[in-house]
A and B are shown apart, each in its own frame.
Chain A
């Protein structure tokens, strides 16, 4: 998979509060794409 982007998310669930990066102001989600089939996937950094 090709890691092609980091997207900043601003969660509203209190359970996510501990995962927020203090300097960035949100949670970073990694975006990936398959160079063979184009399928997309994501995961928290």
Chain B
């Protein structure tokens, strides 16, 4: 088996002040970092220099581009805003394209209500498909997220960990499989 580590960053998909998606993203980074053969880092959409007077690949940030070019998979922490995903997340995702092709993606939904960001996840799937990302069939859904972490950002409910484990297990499998495909299997 290929001994090279996989690079799987976590994209925190909202800049909102007081965002509860941040402890979610940090938890995902922590769980990824514990897994052997995985390198990870947090990519905060609030810190990607994004233009508001232009959009698309012409506005790509070289650091974000390099991170995604290096990546084998992506975890997207996507809070649900008004039954959809964050506009800034979409704006950031739209700045790249070739960096994503045939790479794995998993979505972590976040909501203040009971549905764990499911509506936002469902809305985001066709976007990721068009960007060439291959989505996995596991999600993680953080419902009523304001009650999930303590004041220090530590997880209160350990029941999330088995779900995260299954999600990452599938994401890592897909990441390895697609890396093999990108490097070894020609199109046509």
* Interface residues of A, Cβ cutoff 8 Å to B: 4-8, 21-25, 28
Interface of B, secondary structure class, is helix
Beta-carbon contact of B163 and A6 below 8 Å: no
The complex places the Cα of A38 from the Cα of B114 at a distance, in Å, of: 41
* Interface residues of B, Cβ cutoff 8 Å to A: 137-138, 159-160, 162-163, 166, 169-170, 173
The complex places the Cα of A6 from the Cα of B67 at a distance, in Å, of: 29
For the A-B complex with A8-B138, A23-B163 known, give 19 more contacts whose Cβ atoms are closer than 8 Å. Answer: A4-B173, A5-B170, A5-B173, A6-B166, A6-B169, A6-B170, A7-B137, A8-B137, A8-B166, A21-B162, A22-B159, A23-B159, A23-B160, A23-B162, A24-B162, A24-B163, A24-B166, A25-B163, A28-B166
Sort A-B residue pairs by CB-CB distance and give the 3 closest, nearest first: A23-B159, A23-B162, A24-B163
Interface of A, secondary structure class, is strand
The complex places the Cα of A25 from the Cα of B138 at a distance, in Å, of: 12
A5 contact set on B, CB distance < 8 A: 170, 173
Q: Can you offer 21 A-B residue contacts whose CB atoms are under 8 A?
A: A4-B173, A5-B170, A5-B173, A6-B166, A6-B169, A6-B170, A7-B137, A8-B137, A8-B138, A8-B166, A21-B162, A22-B159, A23-B159, A23-B160, A23-B162, A23-B163, A24-B162, A24-B163, A24-B166, A25-B163, A28-B166
The complex places the Cα of A37 from the Cα of B159 at a distance, in Å, of: 39
The complex places the Cα of A32 from the Cα of B64 at a distance, in Å, of: 37
B173 contact set on A, CB distance < 8 A: 4-5
The complex places the Cα of A30 from the Cα of B170 at a distance, in Å, of: 12
Query: Nearest residue in B to A21 (C-beta to C-beta)?
Result: B162
Q: How far is the CB of B146 from chain A (nearest CB, A)?
A: 21
The complex places the Cα of A4 from the Cα of B136 at a distance, in Å, of: 13
Q: How far is the CB of A6 from chain B (nearest CB, A)?
A: 6
